[in-house]
Amino acid sequence: MTEELWVCNLGVLEYSAALALQERVRDARQAGLVPDVLLQLQHHPVYTRGRRSGADEFPFPPEWYAEQGISIFETDRGGKITFHNPGQLVGYPIVRVDDVVAYVRLLERAIVTALSEEGLAARDRAEEGSDYTGVWLEDRKIASIGVHVARGVTTHGFAVNVENDLTPFGWVVACGLPDVAMTSLAAEVDRAGCADRAALLPCFRKRMSHALAQELGLRQRLVTPQRLERALSVAPVTTGV
């Protein structure tokens, strides 16, 4: 069991539903009832704030963001504020780890590998400090990372801008960086003169799960949400701390 990475594609989920599912998968992983799991999905528009978020991240009052149809969630992950919406690939790896910093670097390498297969020269900026965690194309940020670890098992994970609307990133101090320029796979392939964007998200989703499995040294196995639910139905409920 431990040699597999279960990959479950979930479509578009509300953030609260995805958070509850992560917690159930984490409990099952802690109990040894499932192997490492990667949940891949998209979110309805939502800002999420990490443990390092500051009070000055929202230039406008909460009511203004609600009028734009965007929810706001406080989370227990690392990092600062980010944004999720349809067209962005969100990955929640629920995996056992020993070293959190090494795990974050592993996620960055997996994303860089997947983007390189799309012909993009992505990089991390680990040497510049924790504010620059994630993956970049020159000085443009394409992927964010924020994780939480409880009893040796991770929750939260990564978000890669694929073909989503980037405008709402400009309505906050995204990633805690006032001058950050966000980009997406769609924007970058347009720069390269590639007009065929129809299969960007499903293709990149496959590249990403394969790259992550390779970095973890695991064999990926696609499982349906129904198969995952059957495994979770026998898992105990714990606090996860």
DSSP secondary structure string for all residues of the chain: -TTEEEEEEEEEE-HHHHHHHHHHHHHHHHTTSS-EEEEEEEESSEEEE-TT--TTS-SS-HHHHHHTT-EEEE-SSSS--EEE-TTEEEEEEE-B-S-HHHHHHHHHHHHHHHHHTTT---B--GGG-GGG-SEEETTEEEEEEEEEEETTEEEEEEEEESS---GGGGGTTGGG-TT-EE--HHHHHHHTT----TTHHHHHHHHHHHHHHHHHT-EEEE--HHHHHHHHTTPPP----
Sketch out the chain's domains with CATH numbers: 4-230 (3.30.930.10)
Residue 162 · residue 168 · CB < 8 Å? no
196: pLDDT strictly greater than 80: no
175 classed as catalytic: yes
Please state the rounded mean pLDDT for residues 178-204.
79
* Residue 184, pLDDT score: 96
Look at residues 100, 60, 93 and name the one whose alpha carbon lies nearest to residue 78.
100
d(CA 126, CA 149): 20
Q: Is the pTM of this model over 0.85?
A: yes
What is the percentage of the chain residues whose pLDDT exceeds 70? 93
Query: Given 8, 175, 194, 203, which residue is catalytic?
Result: 175
Q: Output phi, psi for 109, to 5 deg.
A: -60, -40
Query: What pLDDT is stored for residue 56 in this prediction?
Result: 82
Give helix 15-30 / helix 225-232 axis angle, nearest 10°: 50
Query: Which of 137-151, 170-184, 192-206, 221-235 is predicted least confidently?
Result: 192-206
Sheet of 82-84, strands arranged across: 71-74, 46-49, 82-84
